[in-house]
Amino acid sequence: MFKKLSCVFLVLSVWISCSRVDLPPNDIVYDILIQNAQIVDGSGAKPYHGSLLIKDGVISYVGSDDLDDFEAMQIIDADGKVVSPGFIDAHAHGNAEKNPEFRNFWSMGVTSILLGMDGSSAGIEDLIEWMNVVDKARPGLNIVPMTGHGTARNVAKISLETGPDESQLAEMARILEDQFKQGSFGVSTGIEYIPGRFADQSELAIVSEVVARYNGVIMSHVRNEDESVVRESVRELVRMGSDGGARVHVSHIKVVYGKDVSSAEGVLSVMDSARVAGQDVTADVYPYTASYTGIGILFPDWALPPHDFDEVARTRRAELAEYLRNRVNLRNGPEATLLGTSPWAGRTLAEIADSLDKPFEEVLIDHIPPGSASAAYFVMDINVMRRFLEDPHVVVSTDGSPTMLHPRGYGSFAKIIRQFAVEESLIPIETIVHKMSGRTAEIVGLHKDRIPTSQMNYEDLHYLRRGFLKSGFAADVLVFDPEQVMDHATFENPHQYSTGFDHVIINGILVQKDGAPTGARPGLVLRSR
């Protein structure tokens, strides 16, 4: 009996010594000390009471000690509130050179955003130069650069009419490789948009091969999100990944016209089957029942480039009008299309048609042709979206921007906490935070050293690991009470900042203190290598 107890105590002592977090030196002054916190570390683990230390933009310590004998320039008493990693937006939009503040994001706890989505990206000619320009613009948060397949395709001069030849495909692959060598994290595709919709499986396989070679990820706006074909669109993305060996990710996963949870189950089953077969497949979702994109989504392929719309409208007008009438009615009617572009902003297609005293399909042909406007489309079901959010392989995004006339760019992360963690208790806060931070960091590759440790300069925050509250990780940190988090943005008034995030820390610097902006803009363009 004594021997058995000795063994038990030995095992316990080893476990305690291995799990204990060593304290850092207490003879220096730290930048920030957060005490009396409910630590939610981004891993999905249960919260625990603890403290956190920050020095030079890096987390020096996180653990259960109170650290009363440590000194810091700023001491924050969390008063039992959640302390978590800053959130990572898996799919965002915006012009980082012209509008670098991005307060709409960090007001809802987002400290890093992925830019260059849906197949379109900046910096395609010289990514390093673009990153340096954006760094000098002092962004308000961190930017994770992705490379647009459509942009690379255009630079390679691939024709919409004839498709690529071998030399053009080689040029496109070279462009993508250069982007990875300069610090891109992956490739985005917009297969529903021009020019991505013209890419066939052989072209997409070449993209996948390049992405796999650099251990990046493909994030795709799939070819079609309508209920009748969305599963096949996800299968196409899975094939793209398996053909070249790359990890794939479904951007803003949704089922247009889906009215039942079974439609979500069908899409998730495609992803589950792919994972069983060894394919790495993930997705992101935003918590609104309306999408937002160009008005061209309503028009048939034969009325879009490379076809001449004016000629189509002149020679096939009756056929085009019938198509638009049927498609808009299938998408819940003209009342469900809310324009977001001047001079129609804030008015539904039905209201515009009434004001012009003509059928809505004629309005589209004569006044709102492809490329002239964007709109919100109320075509999704809340229960379908809820089911996607529950899936462990689906993380959170906004698909929003500072200027977009859709509330998702100002409210998505706050809305999910308010509605699904607090009001509905659908998902515990530690799981929600994991979906907003650590899991996204794993998908993108932000959670690991991106250059050899021997070369790591921990003063260079461009390369530090993120997404978790761990010693040695970049100090992107939030302090908030989930019960107080509130989204205020609406479709009528979309540019309303979220509230409830007491402190937002980016690269060790407070950008929001006691709920108010500090004026600091310490964001960086992160580098994959």
Q: How far apart are CA 417 and CA 429, in angstroms?
A: 7
Whether 306 is in a domain gets the answer: yes
Place of tokens 């987002």: 110
Q: How far apart are CA 379 and CA 384, in angstroms?
A: 11
Whether 330 is in a domain gets the answer: yes
Q: Which residues contact 81 (CB under 8 A, 6 or more apart)?
A: 37, 38, 479, 480, 481, 502
- The string of DSSP codes covering 32-57 is EEEEEEEE--SSSPPPEEEEEEEETT
Whether 296 is in a domain gets the answer: yes
Q: Tell which residue, 101, 105, 114, has the closest CA to residue 520.
A: 101
N residues, the chain: 529
Whether 304 is in a domain gets the answer: yes
Whether 320 is in a domain gets the answer: yes
pLDDT in 10s for each residue of the chain, 529 residues:
333 333 433 333 333 333 445 899 999 999 999 999 999 999 999 999 999 999 999 999 999 998 999 999 999 999 999 999 999 999 999 999 999 999 999 999 999 999 999 999 999 999 999 999 999 999 999 999 999 999 999 999 999 988 999 999 999 999 999 999 999 999 999 999 999 999 999 999 999 999 999 999 999 999 999 999 999 999 999 999 999 899 999 999 999 988 889 999 999 999 999 999 999 999 999 999 988 889 999 999 999 999 999 999 999 999 999 999 999 998 889 999 999 888 998 899 999 999 999 999 999 999 999 999 989 899 889 999 999 999 999 999 999 999 998 999 999 999 999 999 999 999 999 999 999 999 999 999 999 887 766 666 666 899 999 999 999 999 999 999 999 999 999 988 999 999 999 999 999 999 999 999 999 999 999 999 8
Residue 316: DSSP 8-state: S
Whether 96 is in a domain gets the answer: no
Phi-psi sector, 387: left (phi>0), alpha (psi -120 to 50), beta:
alpha
pLDDT at residue number 453:
64
Q: Specify the number of domains making up the chain.
A: 1
Whether 319 is in a domain gets the answer: yes
pLDDT at residue number 146:
98
- Domain span at residue 318 reads 292-378
Whether 322 is in a domain gets the answer: yes
pLDDT at residue number 4:
38
pLDDT at residue number 181:
97
Report which secondary-structure segment, H or E, holds 185: none
pLDDT at residue number 3:
39
Q: How far apart are CA 289 and CA 349, in angstroms?
A: 18
What predicted TM-score, i.e. pTM, was given to this entire model?
A: 0.90
Phi/psi of residue 114, each to 5°? -90, 125
Q: In angstroms, how far is the first alpha carbon of the chain from the final one? A: 56
| Omega before 522 within 30 of 0, i.e. cis | no
pLDDT at residue number 11:
35
